[in-house]
Amino acid sequence: MISVVMPAYNEEKALPNTLCALFTQQGDYEVIVVDGGSTDRTLPIVESFGFIDSASDVSRSSDTSRNTLHVSRFTIHAPKGRASQMNVGAKQATGEWLLFLHADTILPLGAIQRLNEMEADQTIQAGGFMHQFSGDDWRLTLISFLDNFRCVRSRIIYGDQALFVRRALFERLGGFPNQPILEDVAFCERLIAVTNPILLSPSVVTDARKFLKMGVWRSFLRVLLIILHVEFRLPVLPRAFFQDVR
């Protein structure tokens, strides 16, 4: 079974599309939304999709519609911060695979079933997906191209690439380091020391809204600085560089 762990904080704009697409997936999986204290409509949206809040009921709701084999869904709460939220979600997970999915990112069709089929192949311990943005802005296509090139070369998988890892290995590596930024990079640096993550296509699709709101070229510069930071071990970037855009 796959445990989809989804950190969320004030994601009312993108979350409905993400959940609609997720629940068209066939396969055996559970979905754990980990809320970081949202103040918008994130929690009501989650509830509208049939999630059970574990604070009031630890049982998991199951859905056998949409031709799925098994789907369960529940919500838990954690201090704000992707590392904190994903680690808390992972502790509640029961699946062989942990799939960390951002609330504004859509999996390609067949992704869950594909991971179900890979469960028996112990030579595969971790991986992620190639990446693209929604829409057809050529500048965002360029950013995704550079990001995919970086990932193929380094095997460092960013959070918006739907990182998946076997639960036992995730626990052995200590989960995501408790740091406010670049927790995905730090975890993958540990990961590639013990295994070679695979990269799958078709790509996941991330909502381009935040990049467009920040400004495409400013976002492009931001991505380049992150790549340089990772590739050449530049000094840690200030947290303000990673400000929330909703």
Q: With a cut of 60, say whether residue 195 has pLDDT above it.
A: yes
Residue 209, Ramachandran bin (φ over 0: left; ψ between -120 and 50: alpha; else beta): alpha
- 43-47, 184-188, 216-220, 242-246: which range is least confident on average? 242-246
pLDDT band at 210 (very low <50, low <70, confident <90, very high): confident
Predicted local confidence at residue 240, as pLDDT: 56
Supply the DSSP string of 53-69, one letter for each residue.
ETTT--S-EEE--TT-S
Q: Identify whether the C-beta of residue 129 lies closer than 8 Å to the C-beta of residue 40.
A: no
Q: Name the pLDDT band for 69 (thresholds 50, 70, 90).
A: very low
**What is the gyration radius of the CA atoms in the chain, in angstroms?**
17
- The SS3 assignment for 209 reads helix
Q: What is the pLDDT of residue 179?
A: 82
Looking at domain 2-135+156-207, which CATH architecture does it have? Alpha-Beta Complex (3.90)
Helix (H, G, I), strand (E, B) or coil at 193: coil
DSSP class of 238: P
The pLDDT value given to residue 70: 55
- Which carries the bigger pLDDT value, residue 58 or residue 207? 207
Over residues 108-141, the pLDDT tens digits come to 999 999 999 999 999 999 999 999 999 988 988 9
Mean pLDDT across 52-58: 65
Partners of 53 in beta bridges: 75
Domain boundaries, the chain: 2-135+156-207
